[in-house]
Amino acid sequence: MKWVYISDIAQHLDEEIIIKGWLYNKRSSGRIHFLLIRDGTGIIQGIMEEKEISPETFALYNDLTQESSLIVQGKARADKRAPGGYELYLTDLIPVHIAQEYPIALKEHGTAFLMEHRHLWLRSSRQHAILSIRSEIIKALRDFFDERGFILLDTPILTPAACEGTTTLFETEYFDSGKAYLSQSGQLYAEAGAMAFGKVYCFGPTFRAEKSKTRRHLTEFWMLEPEIAYADLDYIMAFSEEMLQYLVECILTKKGKELEALDRDLAPLKKINSPFPRLSYDEAIKYLQQQGSKIEWGEDFGGDEETILSTIYDQPIIIHRYPRQCKAFYMKGDPEAEGRVLNMDILAPEGYGEIIGGSQREDHLERLLEKIEQQNLPKEAFEWYIDLRRYGSVPHAGFGLGIERTVGWICGLKHVRETIPFPRMMERIYP
RNA sequence: UCCACGGUAGCUCAGUCGGCAGAGCGGGUGGCUGUUAACCACUUGGUCGGGGGUUCGAGUCCCUCCCGUGGAGCCA
């Protein structure tokens, strides 16, 4: 007997097949039972008629609890009455495990309760849709870089020092060498990679020990960071536009059903069309002040400012050339504007805010040393990084894309915590 | 860390002026040959977050601690 996944059911109509899965829900009107069976690829309604099956098997219905695992045999047919469009007329059913009383009923639950049962919550159709879109987003992005000849460069997670002195780091003991820190960015190592391979990207988890409690923060999140030798700020702005355009088109093509299941309004995504509007930091400040914001020149944008800026246009918006004082030491100064750096942030539309932050890097040895000194960073820990400016330094640039925020935007979610299987937040490390 | 709100049955919540602890869902039993978060009947289910106080009497008022949710700051 052939084992078939529910997603492939259309190719096996009227064949006797086997499906292995779990009981999502059941209903009965006495002589006919309805079993909603899921197998991770979809849901199908199983029909159990008293006259078509042995009395012992028919009676098993009473023992089957929500999320019990089972193997069923039957013939599939298309039927408009069935959720999912297909039904399986059961000829046999073997319970694999009768589940204990399942904590998550098919009713409303609070976020705290669901997060406490995240390992089970993943089985629900909504989480299934979000995480399969996440998987496709990562695949699309990796395809984008691989097709353009980038090398995937895995950067270390345990590091000897901070990449950006400002943020708080998770600390751990490292044998007899003292402290090690969990990486908050792979960028510095990616720069070494770019000098070796020309164009590279890293993709991995990053860690921020900030006590952030907002809808767009996690303590552990995944970041994709390309780094390109001989690229300047204009190059990476155009490049990231191309990347986002590619990504959105790809997800619309391949994940329409899942987006629909999430009630995502597709119109704003279909409108995405590069090049995106660009605003310098100075222009953005001027605009915000006209809108009544109290922000002063030199301050970084807060959540409210980001929301205002990301709703001006129905496109992602690029803000570039921020003041030096609110940005990291490795960013190159703008030769044409005193006090500004050659950086850019991309804010997703519909109020989603920052999903990309990038810059042209300081490639001049003396100026980099000055900045390290000014910011009181431990020079010894950065010697290897400084070496990159001693041996064939070139202009180069790169950016980081936050995966969870990107998934949140594309799925139209209010909070990033559902965009990763097991979110790590200030108040949550279980499960 | 700060501000606001919340914690009552397994879950989601109601509980009036301080006066017998409630509903829906889930669980259990029975019924129903096309159900769509099925439905109908019956039934089960409580350390009212912990501690202290006021009171004849506290889920309800006061103090305190714990936990959670939303937001701020910081950032992707």
Q: Where are the domains of chain A?
A: 2-97, 118-418
Per cent of chain A over pLDDT 90 is 58
State the DSSP string of A368-381. Answer: HHHHHHHTT--GGG
Within 8 A by CB and 6+ apart from A63, the residues are A95, A98
Total residue length of chain A: 431
Q: Tell me the whole-structure pTM to 2 decimals.
A: 0.92
Burial A101-128 (b: 16+ CB within 10 A, else e): eeeeeeeebeeeebbbebeebebbeebb
Evaluate if the CB of A294 falls below 7 Å from strand B. no
Residues of chain A with pLDDT under 70: 162-167
The pLDDT of residue A216 is 86
Q: What pLDDT, in 10s, does the model give residues A122-139?
A: 998 889 999 999 999 999
The pLDDT of residue A299 is 84
Q: Output the distance from A29 CA to B39 C1' rounded to whole Å.
A: 9
CATH of domain A2-97: 2.40.50.140
Chain A window 302-341: residues with CB closer than 7 Å to nucleic chain B are: 302-304, 306, 326
CB A327 within 8 A of CB A340: no
Chain A window 21-50: residues with CB closer than 7 Å to nucleic chain B are: 25, 27-32, 34, 36, 45, 47, 49-50
Evaluate if the CB of A7 falls below 7 Å from strand B. no
Pairing label, strands A69-78, A158-159: unpaired
The pLDDT of residue A167 is 55
| Tokens found for residue A218 | 């996690």
Evaluate if the CB of A267 falls below 7 Å from strand B. no
Is-same-fold flag (A2-97; A118-418)? no
Chain A window 224-243: residues with CB closer than 7 Å to nucleic chain B are: none
Evaluate if the CB of A355 falls below 7 Å from strand B. yes
The pLDDT of residue A163 is 53
Q: Which nucleotide is nearest to A357 (CA to C1')?
A: B76
CATH: 3.30.930.10, 2.130.10.10, 3.40.50.300, 3.90.550.10. Which one for A118-418? 3.30.930.10
Rg (CA), chain A: 26
The pLDDT of residue A166 is 45
Evaluate if the CB of A108 falls below 7 Å from strand B. yes
Chain A window 47-86: residues with CB closer than 7 Å to nucleic chain B are: 47, 49-51, 62, 65-66, 79, 81-83
Please tell me the distance from the alpha carbon of residue A396 to that of residue A142, in angstroms, as a whole number.
Answer: 21
Q: Which nucleotide is nearest to A304 (CA to C1')?
A: B72
Tell which strand B nucleotides have any atom below 7 Å from a protein Cβ. Answer: 1-2, 10-13, 24-39, 67-76
Phi, psi of A65 (to 5 degrees): -105, 165
